[in-house]
Chains A and B, each alone.
Chain A
Amino acid sequence: MKNIIEVRNLKKTYKTHERKSGILNAIKSVFARKHRYDAALKGINFSIEPGEIVGFIGPNGAGKSTTIKILAGLLYPSDGEVQVLDFIPWKERVKYVQNIGVVFGQKIQLWWDLPPLDTFELHRDLYKIPKEKFEKRLKFMIKIMGVSKIINKPVRDLSLGERMKCQTIAALLHKPKLVFLDEPTIGLDAVAKERYREFILSTNTRFGTTFLITTHDMQDIEKLCKRIIIINDGRIVYDGPLKEIKEKYMTTKILDIKFDGRPVGFKHKGCEILKRGKYGLKVVVDLSKSKINEVIDYLIKEYEVVDINIQDTPIEEIIQRIYKEKK
């Protein structure tokens, strides 16, 4: 099948000004400023097939957002070739964006003083969505996202999570073939996140929509993506099935446990205590030796547990281990 996204040797360099704090430095900078060149992308290659949901992950400043912005036609690359849906994104912007949907979790894409419904209607007319289709899709999306109560409130009065849901609706109303989601689950609570993921999955299966998602939430990745691309310091470190990474590197989980009382004599197969507090423990669980629910069963049986927090291996650690392996 023909690829929906094709990226070859993509590079992006930013020119920035150095700015030091303090009045004296500020006055100095009025007369002479130093430039610095930061390479955000150092030549990346990948391609995505129609219908895929690809997770795009990496630490802060790795180049995720830059890549998404270039793919969405917002930025000019410094070098390299990009072809998305037979378009070169940064050329013919108006025509191109008609075919894609983009959600930036950190930005506001709705009219600030107006209810989300007004932005939806603006999109209806700008993307030329027929009225009946618009009503039908909107009804469906509102239901599945659970936002029927807020679409008539001004956006400025909405919470971050509510804004995100509406923003996603706005970006998907015109049924784009390709959707970029940049940190879409920021500000959502656990239930809402679950709903959001279901929404993405059902859109993907029903319409064959292709998704490229960046996120810090490993749960998002696990639930949504079969394939991930890991980027670090402007280079792609890994591109392949999530399963492989999971089996190879996500072999541990971290448990943060709070007890009602002092935990004495905690001991379980494959567990190692990282930190011991007065009423709490931080434990690394080696998943090859012990399943996570076994550990939790053990804890609940033996102790008065107040709270358990399960964390995945941080992405930074996975990257470090991938590097180590390469050497």
Chain B
Amino acid sequence: MELSSELAYKWNFIIKSIALIISCIITPIVTLLIYNNTSGIPGWSLEEFILLQGTFIFVLGIARLFMFDFPSKIISNVRRGEFDKFLLKPYSPLLYLTFSSIQIEGIAELTTGLCLIVWSFVKLNLDIWSFGFLFYLMFIALGILFLYSFIILISSLSFLIVNSYALFDLFFKLTDLSRYPASIYGLTVRFFVTFLLPLAILGYYPAEAMLRGANLGLILQISIPVILFFFITLFLWNRAMRKYSSAGG
């Protein structure tokens, strides 16, 4: 249904996809220009940098495809007082909303990210039959979980704050922190993006694991904050749900 009505506006659909691809590849182009003019960032060659950014775009694409429509759906339903219809369904509103909202533009991002990943894999001669690759996939999965937690967080807050769209914008700005290797940041920021709001899981840590391997210590150190964050947001969501249904909408 949504797909066909999107397609009905032919130009819009085509150009929207092109626009998204362009905005995806602009960051790698900027990176390329930086590396052409300077010696780059210590410890990261151009190809390695592109691997990081490609991974980031890929994860973001998956999130856009399946989840980014989710908070706006909740916000608009809560505003119109129609959220109750989700509570009446025989399954968890969280799961229902996650799988019922798709933004097809996500495909453009996903594809661009994948192309960049493949390009850097070939250039760097990386082996996909390695533990590093296994950890790479695992960290990507953690990254998706992290974005999902964040979506849940914003959605939960939208029951409390009227202006939760602004939070979504803020979050997008925060993800800019994930576009560059966490090693460039000062200690405070690094601590922030690793433990408090594990944004580094969206690009830096998967790329690190792929390029330089990972050990148990690192894996624990990275996955615990992400998983903890997930459970905290889940807890908040349940609290918000209980509060909403007891208030009677």
Chain A contact residues, CB within 8 Å of chain B:
19, 21-23, 26-27, 29-30
Q: Please give, as numbers and ranges, the residues of chain B lying within 8 Å of A23 by CB-CB distance.
A: 3-4, 7
What number of A-B contacts does a CB cutoff of 8 Å give? 18
CB closest chain-A residue, reference B4: A23
Q: Beyond A19-B8, A23-B4, A30-B7: 15 further Cβ-contacts under 8 Å?
A: A21-B4, A22-B4, A23-B3, A23-B7, A26-B4, A26-B5, A26-B7, A26-B8, A27-B7, A29-B7, A29-B8, A29-B10, A30-B10, A30-B13, A30-B14
CB closest chain-B residue, reference A20: B8
What secondary structure prevails in chain B residues at the interface with A? helix
* Complex CA distance for A91 and B66, rounded to whole angstroms: 50
Q: Can you list 18 contacts pairing A with B, beta carbon distance less than 8 Å?
A: A19-B8, A21-B4, A22-B4, A23-B3, A23-B4, A23-B7, A26-B4, A26-B5, A26-B7, A26-B8, A27-B7, A29-B7, A29-B8, A29-B10, A30-B7, A30-B10, A30-B13, A30-B14
Question: How far in angstroms is the closest Cβ of chain B from A18?
Answer: 11
CB closest chain-A residue, reference B3: A23
* Complex CA distance for A225 and B207, rounded to whole angstroms: 77
Question: How far in angstroms is the closest Cβ of chain A from B14?
Answer: 8
Name B1-44 residues within 8 Å CB distance of A: 3-5, 7-8, 10, 13-14
Q: Please give, as numbers and ranges, the residues of chain A lying within 8 Å of B13 by CB-CB distance.
A: 30
Interface size counted on chain B using CB atoms at 8 A: 8
Question: How far in angstroms is the closest Cβ of chain A from B162?
Answer: 13
CB closest chain-B residue, reference A22: B4
CB closest chain-A residue, reference B11: A30
* Complex CA distance for A21 and B14, rounded to whole angstroms: 19
* Complex CA distance for A26 and B7, rounded to whole angstroms: 6
Q: Please give, as numbers and ranges, the residues of chain B lying within 8 Å of A22 by CB-CB distance.
A: 4
Question: How far in angstroms is the closest Cβ of chain A from B80?
Answer: 13
Q: Please give, as numbers and ranges, the residues of chain A lying within 8 Å of B5 by CB-CB distance.
A: 26
* Complex CA distance for A19 and B4, rounded to whole angstroms: 11
Q: Please give, as numbers and ranges, the residues of chain B lying within 8 Å of A29 by CB-CB distance.
A: 7-8, 10
* Complex CA distance for A23 and B1, rounded to whole angstroms: 8
Q: Please give, as numbers and ranges, the residues of chain A lying within 8 Å of B8 by CB-CB distance.
A: 19, 26, 29
Question: How far in angstroms is the closest Cβ of chain A from B11?
Answer: 9
CB closest chain-B residue, reference A27: B7
Q: Please give, as numbers and ranges, the residues of chain B lying within 8 Å of A30 by CB-CB distance.
A: 7, 10, 13-14
Q: Please give, as numbers and ranges, the residues of chain B lying within 8 Å of A27 by CB-CB distance.
A: 7
Question: How far in angstroms is the closest Cβ of chain A from B107?
Answer: 15
Q: Top 10 closest A-B pairs, CB basis?
A: A26-B7, A30-B10, A23-B4, A26-B4, A26-B8, A27-B7, A19-B8, A22-B4, A23-B3, A29-B10
Q: Please give, as numbers and ranges, the residues of chain A lying within 8 Å of B4 by CB-CB distance.
A: 21-23, 26
* Complex CA distance for A26 and B8, rounded to whole angstroms: 5
Question: How far in angstroms is the closest Cβ of chain B from A16?
Answer: 14
Question: How far in angstroms is the closest Cβ of chain B from A23?
Answer: 4
* Complex CA distance for A43 and B5, rounded to whole angstroms: 36
Question: How far in angstroms is the closest Cβ of chain B from A210?
Answer: 41
Question: How far in angstroms is the closest Cβ of chain A from B18?
Answer: 14
Contact with A along B112-142 (1 / 0, CB 8 A): 0000000000000000000000000000000
Q: Please give, as numbers and ranges, the residues of chain B lying within 8 Å of A26 by CB-CB distance.
A: 4-5, 7-8
Question: How far in angstroms is the closest Cβ of chain B from A29?
Answer: 7
* Complex CA distance for A29 and B5, rounded to whole angstroms: 12
* Complex CA distance for A23 and B5, rounded to whole angstroms: 8
Question: How far in angstroms is the closest Cβ of chain A from B168?
Answer: 20
* Complex CA distance for A21 and B5, rounded to whole angstroms: 8
Question: How far in angstroms is the closest Cβ of chain B from A205?
Answer: 44
CB closest chain-A residue, reference B10: A30
CB closest chain-A residue, reference B5: A26
Q: Max chain B CB contacts within 10 Å: which of A21, A23, A29?
A: A23
* Complex CA distance for A30 and B3, rounded to whole angstroms: 13
CB closest chain-A residue, reference B7: A26
Q: Please give, as numbers and ranges, the residues of chain A lying within 8 Å of B14 by CB-CB distance.
A: 30
* Complex CA distance for A23 and B4, rounded to whole angstroms: 4
Q: Max chain A CB contacts within 10 Å: which of B4, B5, B8?
A: B8
Q: Max chain A CB contacts within 10 Å: which of B3, B7, B10, B14?
A: B7
Question: How far in angstroms is the closest Cβ of chain B from A159?
Answer: 15
* Complex CA distance for A21 and B10, rounded to whole angstroms: 14
